[in-house]
Amino acid sequence: MASHESLGFGGLLVLLLHMALSISPASGIGVNWGTQSTHPLPPSTIVRMLKDIGFQKVKLFDADATTLKALGKSGIQVMVGIPNDLLPTLANSVQAAQDWVAQNVSSHVSSNAVDIRYVAVGNEPFLGAYNGSYIGLTLPALENVQSALIKAGLAGQVKVTVPLNADVYQSSTNLPSDGDFRVYENVFDANHDTLVWALQKNGYGNLSIIVGEIGWPTDGDKNANPKYAQQFNQGFMSRVIAGKGTPMRSGPVDAYLFSLIDEDAKSIQPGNFERHWGLFYFDGQPKYPLRLGTTSSNGLVPATDVRYMAKKWCVMSPSANLDDPQVGPSVSYACSHADCTSLGFSIMIQSLPAAQGTASSLRLNVLVLRREYSAFQILNLQSGSQVLCQIGTG
């Protein structure tokens, strides 16, 4: 997911809605799988989770060989991604595109039996925040990748697409049809049909639409919490299960939930919420019940065989004083090496006393660096402690 402008969560759906245009229809529910984590679960564990939950499709942001190998013979349809920084190379060299397809698509389809269905060219390359940097590169890159797929004999199976952020279309009146009124009950329908209308006006009314990212974070903002995330995602999934379309397009919606698992190494430039989009915590445990309608269990299934690190972390020394001038720099140092987004404007730790919040930042730090600090004690604490006692996976 590309960086988003910090719009606040009154406009969350607009902020999240990421579309991809495709020339072939598809259906079923998928999920985004991001890997920017300091303690990633093994890809084989993630793939087992995907199958246990019943996800039929997964959207990747790159074409990592280890990830794709784990998806081999899984029966899961895969969308691989081309990062924006590769667009100049692929746009200016047919050979580079052929090499990329050979290494990241052909080899996995033939050798690992990975069911690759899409190549996403760029990650929201037309986002307004990029100031047009990729506008002249995206189409040539797409054409070269498409040409490479044809040469590789894969064009019948693998389609190219360009992920678009919702800021790519506009309406002078803020109405989806710019004057042709329809009844809209939610912002998703209005967003979706604004794109449909824009496509129709430009002569592409029959182009298929994939909702590439849709979801709600659980921390890092006053409106980001598990309750709201469950309500939003269950509401969306209920309409998907029912096969309900939008006022301008009937039939099932093709979508990828954002996202599968938390990523504690993502940039927080858009906001602290960027690390908390997951349906699952970083250790593969579900955050809330969610009915997907994909399996007999009908819900999220936790990861199995997760190996945890020893239950040790830094806490404030009982003799320490919050007014001690060493406390502030110590916390700042700890948070520069760990994910302290829950200590900010959020719901997870803000209710704890100051000393416990400080202890939490130090606990997070020792999980990442796995080292001790002489200024603080290392204690064994019970999992029932008031401080959140999730321990990093090893």
CATH assignment of the domain containing 189: 3.20.20.80
Catalytic residue among 124, 143, 274, 372: 124
274 catalytic residue (yes or no): no
- Is 31 part of a structural domain of the chain? yes
Q: Give tens-digit pLDDT for 150-194.
A: 999 999 999 999 998 877 766 556 665 554 456 788 888 988 898
pTM for this predicted structure: 0.78
Domain tally for the chain?
2
Reduced to 3 states, what is the DSSP secondary structure of residue 289? coil
Q: Which of 105-109, 301-305, 371-375 has the lowest mean pLDDT?
A: 371-375
Whole-Å CA distances, 140 to 97, 153, 348, 389: 10, 20, 45, 50
Instruction: Extract the tokens encoding 206.
Output: 């029959």
Q: What is the pLDDT of residues 235-260, one digit of tens each?
A: 999 989 999 889 999 888 999 999 99
Cis peptide before 259 (omega within 30 of 0): yes
Whether residue 124 lies in the annotated active site: yes
pLDDT digits (tens, 9 = 90+) for 121-148: 999 999 888 999 999 999 999 999 999 9
Look at residue 332 and tell me if it is in a domain.
Answer: yes
Residues 194 and 169 sit within 8 Å (Cβ to Cβ):
yes
Buried b (16+ CB within 10 A) or exposed e, 178-210: eeeeeebeeebbbbbbbbbbbbeeeeeeeeebb
Out of 5, 143, 185, 213, the active site residue is 213
> Is 390 within the bounds of a domain?
no
Do 146 and 268 belong to one domain?
yes
Q: Is 388 a member of any domain?
A: no
For 213, the domain range is 9-275
Same domain, 99 and 163: yes
Question: Which H/E stretch holds residue 51?
Answer: helix 43-53
* Cβ atoms 279, 261 nearer than 8 A: yes
Give me the pLDDT at residue 336, please.
Answer: 77
The CA distance from 29 to 295, in Å, is: 12
